[in-house]
Amino acid sequence: MARIYVTRHLPGTAVERLRAAHDVDLWPEDGPPPHDELVARAREADALLTMLTDRIDADFLRAVEPLRAVANYAVGTDNVDLDACTAAGIPVGNTPDVLTDATADLAFALLLAAARRIRDADEAVRSGNWPTWSPGAFLGQDVAGATLGIVGYGRIGKAVARRGEGFGMEIIHNSRSGGASLDELLERSDYVSLHAPLTPETRGLIGERELALMKPTAILINTARGELVQTRALERALKDGAIAGAALDVTDPEPLPADHPLLTAPNLTVVPHIGSATRTTREKMSDMAANNLLAALAGERMPYCANPEVYDG
């Protein structure tokens, strides 16, 4: 029987499945464990089930060795140094191909909310400022027939494109495999939706220059990674009217402090990283993470391994 440290409560029955086979130490709070606490708990564990907020790097691995496996509760592994894990012989699991539709749904929901100023209208009602109907009240942007630019044309980007096609939108895309140039996409699009992975090349991809290329009536949507967008540049673009609005599921930093200056920008909708937050999707992610750990601790190959080269040795 191995000891597993799980850094957050999980939807569904995954923790119970792990407990049926192993000793599970579950972090009891809703927020992430402080890094020092993560190190201390991991020193007593054989395997970890981590979140994107848990930093697993070379220094961490040296502090907690030996460690047999890490299952990351996410499609991405931005928080995990895969090279360091591979060098240490530690398989790292993730949860791929499970949140495509949930995230695409949210991206399009954010697009619609920003286009039609849903947040502004809702706040007016809740604050008791429901105005008398007026031809000029809460004017937004058309979605049907508009041009949707998709940056990053993988599974989620293509799923967003299908939703846009249902609204009769013209779709243009930019990715490593082809499509329009980023500059052309930014110049032509009424809506720009980001779905690129976070890499050294895409970090800060959308900055002052790129925002200046967008139409003043355009809206930026980001459900990928907050670090794709230069936060200060976005704040200036919104306040200066360089673009019409933005809708974000991810931010840099994340979480965004309540007093962050970006939140004073007009025509901005921000939600707290809920792209995969449907009950079905999150329970599937829990089961995939548990399956990764159960396999690794049984001496078997992880079914969803982010560093499969670890098995080559």
Q: Is 254 tagged catalytic?
A: yes
From the candidates 170, 184, 187, 254, give the one annotated as an active-site residue: 254
From the candidates 41, 163, 173, 225, give the one annotated as an active-site residue: 225
pLDDT over 90 at 313, yes or no: no
- The set of residues, in sequence order, having a beta carbon less than 8 Å from that of 131 and lying 6+ positions away, is 124, 137
| CATH at 32 | 3.40.50.720
Residues 28-63: tens digit of each pLDDT = 998 999 999 999 999 999 999 999 999 999 999 999
Query: In this structure, are strands 178-179 and 170-175 parallel, antiparallel, or unpaired?
Result: antiparallel
Pair (251, 186) in one structural domain: yes
pLDDT at 132: 83
Residues 227-243: tens digit of each pLDDT = 999 999 999 999 999 99
Q: Which domain holds residue 32?
A: 3-97+279-311
Query: How confident is the model over 203-224, as a mean pLDDT?
Result: 98
Q: Does the model's pTM come out above 0.85? A: yes
Pair (104, 253) in one structural domain: yes
| Number of domain units in the chain | 2
The average confidence (pLDDT) of the chain is 96
From the candidates 41, 117, 163, 273, give the one annotated as an active-site residue: 273
Pair (88, 169) in one structural domain: no
Q: How far apart are CA 197 and CA 206, in angstroms?
A: 13
pLDDT at 177: 85
Q: Is 195 tagged catalytic?
A: no
Pair (128, 249) in one structural domain: yes
Query: How confident is the model over 190-215, as a mean pLDDT?
Result: 97
Q: Is 225 tagged catalytic?
A: yes
Pair (74, 175) in one structural domain: no
The SS3 assignment for 46 reads coil
The SS3 assignment for 178 reads strand
Pair (139, 185) in one structural domain: yes
